[in-house]
Structure 1
């Protein structure tokens, strides 16, 4: 009797497991919305990158390496299959393009090497080698605090062989500027002793004043 009960219990458990698995697999869309498209670090970096490139380039995000590169026609079939698998498995964080024809100008990968398992902490020899072969400049920029748009402009200019941007010096506090016009002294003017203008005595000044009153 006990053996029969045990078999019934096991049968119920097996049926429940099969039923739950069947119910889960009945819906082909076992998905849910992600909380955010970008992480806070990615959003912050994207804002700086947009300021750095201004309207000079358009920024595309999370592009497959296969969207940028094609396998050479003369490659062997086995090599084509292997390379295509790698190209489709690699994603690039930011791709800079010309705004008029969307021609690729450069690729920027954001590197978080705060730990050994950080995002793209280890350089990917296939990505860097493939982009170098195709003649596409590739920048790996490490995450750190204090980045400015000017820092990214300088890094991009150096990689693209452009002149470094002129950065306005930043001054903290008030800056004392020189006078823009002559400054009048606050001290009373002192007539020099050897001046060409004659110095009159008190009696001479009084006599001149009397003469002026009579003349008027």
Structure 2
């Protein structure tokens, strides 16, 4: 009769430890197999929306290289708050400005002085958001920034947009050129301070041939 040696507590602990490690290794291998090859965390996407692409093509046809076009420019890059505003007014103006962008900013090629901004009408906005956006555009107009509003639903011709840009660049006071009259014409008291646009020099006007 074969005698089986007694199993000590240490032997049981070693056996359990080996079994646990083996199980963890097996689970890791199976997890890697089930998960498949590691995927790349990033992928490319379109730089511009179809509407922005079509608008940029239209602007290029209208002005060629006579004005420098910048796309999706943050308002904070070229708009400063009026330093004379009270604290509450500054906070309100900053909240209105923060995170907002202009679809296209057209600048003189020599000194990159801003001549006009072009915005795309966004019909997907709610009425409340449209009202806030219109108030912001009107406040920007009051600083001396001409704004042209174009709609993807009714693109203007290149010649028509060219005339609008030239008119806006030569305007002696804040103006709005709108294809669908979305932006109001009423006077809005300035709440923002736009640098270097209060008195454009005649020599700096873009030479656009009609």
TM normalised by structure 1 equals: 0.53
Q: Structure 2 stretches of 5 or more lacking a match? A: 1-40, 172-206
Contact 2:118/2:147, CA 8 A, preserved across alignment: yes
Residue 131 (structure 2) pairs with residue 131 (structure 1):
no
Q: Offset of 1:59 from its aligned partner?
A: 0.6
In structure 2, relative to structure 1, the CA distance for the partners of 1:150 and 1:72 (3 Å cut) is same
Match of 1:91 in 2: 101
CA distance, structure 1, for counterparts of residue 60 and residue 144 of structure 2: 23
Residue 63 (structure 2) pairs with residue 53 (structure 1):
yes
In structure 2, relative to structure 1, the CA distance for the partners of 1:132 and 1:37 (3 Å cut) is same
Equivalent position SS for 2:66: coil
Segment of structure 1 superposing worse, 141-150 or 51-60: 141-150
Equivalent position SS for 1:136: coil
Higher relative contact order (CA 8 A, sep 6+): 2
RMSD over aligned Cα, in angstroms? 2.9
CA distance, structure 2, for counterparts of residue 116 and residue 80 of structure 1: 26
Q: How does 1:127-206 map to 2 (within 5 A)?
A: 127-144=136-153, 147-161=156-170, 166=210
Q: Offset of 1:57 from its aligned partner?
A: 0.8
50, 54, 63: which is aligned to 1:44?
54
Equivalent position SS for 1:131: helix
Contact 1:111/1:121, CA 8 A, preserved across alignment: no
Residue 110 (structure 2) pairs with residue 100 (structure 1):
yes
Q: Structure 1 stretches of 5 or more lacking a match? A: 1-30, 167-216
CA distance, structure 2, for counterparts of residue 129 and residue 47 of structure 1: 26
Return the index of the structure with the highest Cα Rg: 1
CA distance, structure 1, for counterparts of residue 71 and residue 96 of structure 2: 19
Q: How many residues align?
A: 134
Contact 2:66/2:208, CA 8 A, preserved across alignment: no
